[in-house]
Structure 1
Amino acid sequence: MPINSFEFLILILYSWVLWYVYQSIVEELDQLTAIKMNQGQLQEQLESLGLAKQLTIQCGFSRTPLAEEMRTFTLIVANRLPEGSYLYVDWQRSTFRTFSGEVKRLFRIPRGQNLDLFEGQSLSIVAPGETLVEIVTLENCLMFDKESGYSIVSPIFRIPELKKARDRGMQFGVNVFFHEPARPEENKPDRFYAITCPFNIVKLPWQSAVYWRPKR
């Protein structure tokens, strides 16, 4: 039986809907991406410094980096050193290394205060057994306005840049500089640590897009 014009139109619309749904699924699966720290590389550094069990560093990034541009991230430092061993985070020396190897200044966002790039960043003290949580950005993400002062206007990474880095297996790094003050009573000198936290952009499995998980 020949197909009339109306049935042909319905067939075209149905095919278009199927194509649209398919493309939406493909795009959704392509966005299943996460920023993950290379724990192996970080642990190697901590072990070489004798800090494998004394220092914990974590960073919190957007859970959907290809869906929304990141302008800040969270830096978490836990001090597991013995009593009396304080750690200072030196923000002036801490940096951010991009995918291309370019080094940018890391900037801590002070709580309840205006951003000011003209003043040096004060040290953050982490007492033994305590955890420091700070929101940070990059200096080049900030813009100055005469009326409102500094504000965060640019993303740390553009979405196409993250996608390219994911597909090519590129890394970026957060370089945190620490100072452990001397303890003369224990004959311990000043110690300085420059620790790099390496990160990879990884594609997540399709199961991450659903709330259920297949039984094994």
Structure 2
Amino acid sequence: MTELDLLILTIYVITVIYVLYQMIDSLEAKTTIAFDRAAVQAQLEEREIASLVDLKFSLASRYDYSQPKTLSITVQNKSKHAAIYVDWDRCAFTDNKGQARRVIRITPDRRLEDLFQPQMSSTVTPGSSLGATVTAEDLLKPGANDTLEPKSPLVDPKKAPLNFALYIALRIANLEVETGGDRFYTIACPFRMSPVPWHDALPFNPKGSCHLVLDRIIPANQWHGSRRGWCGLEPCPRCLPHPLSHR
């Protein structure tokens, strides 16, 4: 190889690396949010109300760095003779730094002056469910028609991975008892925000294709060894284990 060939090869490699870098840099950064369902279930069972109430959240598989600004929660009343009240003013968002923030239930006509007023509790009658969208008070800014809209993400995605929680304040009243039947609970709903690897957004990402090919070579039930993925990462967050990796 002559010096000219070496120079051309070097320029070519540098150009390829630069193009790949620009491609990666242009990919939209995304995050994923995981809800710790097991932790909530453990709290409900410990307080002996798992048969009365259930809490669910609607989460996207992934978010852009500008989201999420809100959380969608469903409170299910599984009982036959108890009413469940959600006290929004006693709910709170917290993060792993211990900062507490007031929870605001989103309504179509909420205005700035409404923030200075107590929020009405929501009632969930026996056998029914309540769906609500909530955000943190400090994120609300005037939007169209002066109604309040969340303008920022709930948590700073640049600090991911990080943990945060929504504390839900509940009052459960036994409708079969005239007085003294109310019980108060605060349930911590933990979440973890994690960054999605940059290669996850590539159009030629091997997810979904690698295991289809490998199943034709070695049955999935015979795979063993390390957690190295077909893409070469260990552990791979998307691929199934590489069948030939036994280290």
Contact 2:72 2:134 in 1 (8 A): yes
Aligned equivalent of 1:95: 92
Using the TM superposition, give the Cα deviation of residue 95 of structure 1 relative to its aligned residue in structure 2, in angstroms: 0.7
Contact 1:60 1:73 in 2 (8 A): yes
Counterpart check, 1:113 vs 2:105: no
1:20 counterpart letter in structure 2? V
Output aligned runs, 1:32-181, within 5 Å.
33-65=31-63, 67-81=65-79, 83-110=80-107, 112-115=108-111, 116-144=114-142, 148-161=146-159, 163=160, 166=161, 170-181=162-173
Unaligned regions of 5+ residues in structure 1, if any? none
Structure 1 residues 37-62: Cα deviation after superposition (integer angstroms, max 9, x where no partner): 22232122111111223322122344
Output aligned runs, 1:190-209, within 5 Å.
190-202=182-194
Contact 2:167 2:187 in 1 (8 A): yes
Contact 2:36 2:191 in 1 (8 A): yes
Using the TM superposition, give the Cα deviation of residue 150 of structure 1 relative to its aligned residue in structure 2, in angstroms: 2.8
Using the TM superposition, give the Cα deviation of residue 77 of structure 1 relative to its aligned residue in structure 2, in angstroms: 1.4
Q: Secondary structure at the match of 1:86?
A: strand
Contact 1:31 1:64 in 2 (8 A): no
Contact 1:32 1:208 in 2 (8 A): no
Range that drifts further, 149-158 or 120-129: 149-158
1:179 counterpart letter in structure 2? R
TM-score, normalised to structure 2, is 0.68
**Counterparts of 1:207 and 1:160, CA distance in 2:** 18
1:86 counterpart letter in structure 2? A
Q: Secondary structure at the match of 1:53?
A: coil
Contact 1:89 1:178 in 2 (8 A): yes
Contact 1:66 1:159 in 2 (8 A): no
Q: Secondary structure at the match of 2:82?
A: coil
Contact 1:96 1:105 in 2 (8 A): yes
Using the TM superposition, give the Cα deviation of residue 135 of structure 1 relative to its aligned residue in structure 2, in angstroms: 1.1
Unaligned regions of 5+ residues in structure 2, if any? 221-247
The alignment covers a number of residue pairs equal to: 206
1:129 counterpart letter in structure 2? G
Aligned equivalent of 1:183: 175
Percent identity between the two aligned chains? 26
TM-score, normalised to structure 1, is 0.76
Aligned equivalent of 2:244: none
Range that drifts further, 63-72 or 9-18: 9-18
**Counterparts of 1:154 and 1:97, CA distance in 2:** 16
The structure, 1 or 2, with the larger RCO (C-alpha pairs under 8 Å, 6+ apart) is 1
**Counterparts of 2:147 and 2:29, CA distance in 1:** 35
**Counterparts of 1:178 and 1:61, CA distance in 2:** 22
